[in-house]
Copies of this chain bind each other. A is one copy, B any other.
Amino acid sequence: MSGDEFDIISQHFTRQPVAREDVLLGVGDDAALLLVPAGAELVVCMDTLVAGVHFSADTPAAAIGHKALAVNLSDLAAMGAEPAWATLALTLPEYHPVWLADFARGFFALADHYHVQLVGGDTTHGPLTVTVQTHGFIRNGKALRRTGAQPGDRIYVTGTLGDAGLALQLRTAANEGLRKRLDYPQPRIEAGLALRKHASAVIDVSDGLLADLGHLLEGDDLGARIDIDALPHSQAFLEAIEQPGPGARPAKYELPLSAGDDYELCFTVPPPQCAEVEQRLGGLACGCTAIGVIEQVPGIRCHYRDGRDYQPVSRGYLHFVDE
C-alpha cells in the first residue's frame, strides 16, 4: 500500500460522529490527551480479532468493525463501567475502499450508540488483524469483578445463550436471527451499569457459560449448580434446532453451556438483592434469567429441572484450538 492510500485510510477514522469534552487531543498527534473524571477509576481492556481465527473470510466488513468494538465493550460491561474512548490498531492486507468504508460504518455505528470516541490507533500493512482497546470509567471502588460470589448467591445470565454457537455450526444455513447474534453481538453495557451495587461477581460469556462461570468460581474455590431447563433460548435458536440437519436437538443444552461468542453477562447476586436485580434488568431489552446457585463444593454440576443429572459433553469453546 502507498502513503497516499494510508492517508485515505486515516480519513475513514477521523470523520466520526462523537466528539467528547474529555478528549483534549484525539487522532493526529503523537498521542491522545484525555481527562478522567475526578473520583473515577479508569477501566481498560484490549481484544484482538484475527481473520480466519475469530471470524471467517465471508464475514461482512461492517460486522468485523462492529464486533471488534463490541467484544471490548462487553468487557467494560462486565466491570459495570461507562464507556468513553477507543483506540484501533488495524492491520490490512490491501487497500480496499469499499471494505474500509463498511468496516468504519460498523465500528462507528456502535461507537456512536455508546458515545464512544475513537482517540487514536495505528494502521499497518499485513495479514488482517484488528486490535481494539476501550477505556471506560467507574466510580472509585464500585467496579464489578470476577471474584466476590458467595455460596447461596443466585446465578443469572442476560439475554439468550447458544445463538452465536449455533450460527457458527450451521454456517450459511443459519437463519438471520442467529447470524446477527454471531456477527453483531450486543455489549450489555446497560445491564452492567444496572448491576453495580447489586451483583457479587460478573463476567462476560465469550468462551462459553461453563468456561466463563468457572472463572467466577476459581478464585474462591467455589462450585455451582445449573438448572439446564432454565437456560434461556432465543426464538431463532429454537426454530433452528427443530430443523433436521446438523443443528440437531442435543444442541439445546450443549450450545448454551459450551459455545462461545454470545457476549451475554453471567453474574451472581446475593438472595436479598435478587428481586431488585430482576426488576432492573427486566426493564432492559435483554432481560435476565436465573439459571442456578453458587455452592460451597467446587465444580459445576448440571441437572434437569426434575433433578436428574446432566453431563455436558464439552466444557467450553476454545476458540484458539486448531480445528
Contact = CB atoms under 8 A, between A and B. Distances in A.
Chain A interface size band reads 35 or more
A6 B120 contact: no
Nearest to A24: B41
Contacts of A42: 33-36, 42
A226 to B, nearest CB: 21
A207 B85 CA distance: 27
A43 B76 CA distance: 20
A225 to B, nearest CB: 24
A126 B129 contact: yes
Contacts of A101: none
A197 interface: no
Interface in A82-119: 85, 87-89, 91, 119
Nearest to A28: B146
B2 A321 contact: yes
B143 A33 contact: yes
A interface secondary structure, majority: strand
Interface stretch (A44-52, A230-238, A248-256): A44-52
A71 B1 CA distance: 22
A29 B145 contact: yes
Contacts of A203: 30
A31 B53 contact: no
Contact of A121 (B2, B33, B46, B121): B46
A169 to B, nearest CB: 20
A285 interface: no
A310 to B, nearest CB: 23
B126 A52 contact: yes
Minimum-distance CB pairs A-B, first 7: A50-B126, A31-B45, A127-B127, A30-B78, A89-B131, A30-B75, A34-B42
